[in-house]
Structure 1
Amino acid sequence: MKKAVSGLAIAAVVTALAIPTPAMADDELQLVTCEESLGTIAVVDGDTQGWAEFSLGSPRELINTLAVESGCFTPHSAASSAPADFLMNVVAGTTEEVDQSIELAKTAAVEGLVRSGAAASVMSRVPGAGAVLGMFGGLGGRSTRLAAGIKLLSPATGQTIVTGSGEVRRSSLTFTRNSTWGERADQIGYRSSGKGKKLVEAFVIAFNAVVAQDATITSIPKTGAAAATQPQVATVSVATSMLAMPMDDAKVVRGLMEGTTLTPTGKREGLFVEVEDNFGTKGWVSVEALN
């Protein structure tokens, strides 16, 4: 793999903003391979879940299989006490929808709203914003060109590090190669569906595009390394709630005002960290609400 380059922060920002044109499938599609893993990933479904329109399940298992077979990423183990190095956010739909979703991810603040589910309520009050978020409602009609996108995010900041996308008009996959990811696509029902086969091919292209930006990925400090140097005290940057579980709809333990100081316990689940207040009360808070 390529080594990290100088000007790390600049490289990360430039790459996140310069989204490559979606690659088209060809007759010789092959999964990229790596000599060593770029880090651990936790795969999450993104804002545009086109697979649901075709009665297909989440592609998370497929993406994890691509990671393992390529050797480029390591799926995060839920039993591990260490957090995942990256979140791999996957989307699918028409080319236009995937392009819009990835474009929206370039703005970290809006990306945070989308993941929290608050985007619709917040942006509904902004003139013209409805047109931007209209892509989340479905596949938008008659287009037969399907696309898939992958956004690699930092769990600590929510920042989009790199993205990749692929689009397929007519699938060239025969699933005759001896590949684990081909077998996985069959197991989760994508092989038996014409649109499912297109999505498999598009996800492989998108995955390859993400790995092609390995220099930027390796320039970002991994979550584990960042945790070792993080401050012992975190400050609430915007009024929020301490939750009983690391999920948006969990029971509220207590409200947190801006400026409240909290002590991280070191536990992390996705975008949530466990914290303790000055009274000894423990709970979970989104990293997006902390400094």
Structure 2
Amino acid sequence: MRFGLVVGAALVCMLVSSLPARADDEKTQPQIPTCSRPLGAITIVDGDRRGWTVYDLQSPQKLLKLYVQKSGCFTLVDRGTGFDAAQKERELEAQGTLQRRSNVGGGQVRAADYVLVAEVVAADRDTGGSAVGGIIGGIVGGPIGGAIGGGLRTRDLEAQAILSVTDVRTSETKAVEEGRAKKTDVSFALGAGGGGWGGWGGVVGGGYEDTPIGQVVSLAFLDAYVRLVNNLGALPADAKSVAPERAYQTMRATKLRKFPDPGATVVRSLEPGMRLYPLGEKDGAWWKVEDENGNQGWVKNTDLEPLR
């Protein structure tokens, strides 16, 4: 009995050591990229293909926030739990509950320039215990061989993650990048593990640190983020300054005039609710605008309101 156990253990060591090296040992894992300046403000949302749910993983937003924060490539704006808490503070201010000079109120929330959309298409291939466990079970035999043969298995874990960036003002997709990761894990199904994932020290959670498939998905997202940052270097330093001016509409009947003067020639009459696009030129309260038919002229900004 003792001899069989020793032989079984020796065979396990020999066979495991002869297996191919883990994929994440064969190549250097990607590192979080760093930027000399933020490319804009960004918020993170879950995409339509939420493949992480198949493997009992939580939303990858915490993971991606960590990547973004450590890279310095974007300024994070919260639209989740933190934002909800901030809104409660504004409600308290509106009720007169906060202390004087708290400086909390409207017009302070930073707009996001971009939205980072996260999606996962993952494949978890389990080859079972036949390749290695079957050999050991056949050689050792008996209950020991059966236990080892049924417990040892090889797992070929793969994950494909997709990150895309959408411009908030124009809804243009600025980039779509795919990241891939693969890790071969040899483990005992009866309890032994391959060690903890020490990448983030428990900060991320959600299964991304303490499960094999979570670790692979983390690396796939990192691969996608590295590619994304490399392809977004041409983004403008100030996204809002190069975006088209927001549209306005007339609040009341007025005139579109050729020059910024109440006595100037009328280009056309404007009815309430007509959409106009500021062209950037201003003369006091007069704005140069263009209507949806391409007519250009001047109108008083007191007759306009932002189009919601």
TM-score for both structures, normalised by structure 2 = 0.47
Greater relative CO, 1 or 2 (CA 8 Å, sep 6+): 1
TM-score for both structures, normalised by structure 1 = 0.49
